[in-house]
Structure 1
Amino acid sequence: MINTLSDETNDALSTLQYEIRELKTQVNLLVITVGNASGRSRDRGEMAKVSKPKRYEGVRNAKELENFLFDMEQYFRAVCTESEEDKMAMASMYLTRDAKLWWCSKFINAFSVICIANVETPPPHTIVKEAKEKPARMGSIRFLSTLQALH
């Protein structure tokens, strides 16, 4: 009788030890998974405070234009913007004065043609492509042809 109890106790103890090992393995896997996921779930823009680029007024100054383009490129990288449409929308928010007027007139012209023709709205990169093909008609805002190159 004592031997039977001893055997049953040993069997139960072996089963419990096996289950404890299995649980420890699962806990270790969960710790590793959660540790990796928490590092990846944050965007770079959330981890660091990203300063916004200076606004561009449409001044015919190559240095100012290059600085604006560089700042926008760095800003897009910092906030992890990949879509060209998003980049165009964000870049247009940093235009002021003559540059903003020009940009608005391009969109108004594009939308009026679209409404008359009953055609779908073209994505912003088509406006940049048009500006790139006809830079002489653009006036002082030639930089928009290079916005498409921002990545």
Structure 2
Amino acid sequence: MDTKFENFRSEMGLYRADIKEQSAENLSFHEAVSLEIDSLMKDNLDLQTEINKVLKEKEILYAELSILHLAIFGSRTNREESSKVKIPEPKAFRGTRSAKKLENFLWDMEQYFIAAHVRDEDKVSITTMYLADDAKL
């Protein structure tokens, strides 16, 4: 019976050694997992900071885009609305040698250009369409 007891004791000693070894391995594994979790949490924090930066940049870009959109399309809308008003065309200049008639023609053309929102590049070619008779020469 003593031998059985001794065998039992020796097996228990082996089990204890295995348990201590497993505990040490578990502790080591736990430490490794803790370090990995800490590293992942730091990476997550860095990533969250970067995401916040990108979101702020996105907000700024959307604001700039809205301003540009308003500047481009807002002015077109205003022009389209104002172009619905019928603008009387100026009378043709026939080349009479009267300073008063020439002055009136030029003033009428300026007012027409303002009301019609004509670009500077187009003013000369439009003005030549309103020259008649001797004024065309």
TM-score (norm 2): 0.47
* Structure with greater helix percent: 2
**Larger RCO (alpha carbons 8 Å, 6+ apart):** 1
The TM-score with structure 1 as length reference comes to 0.43
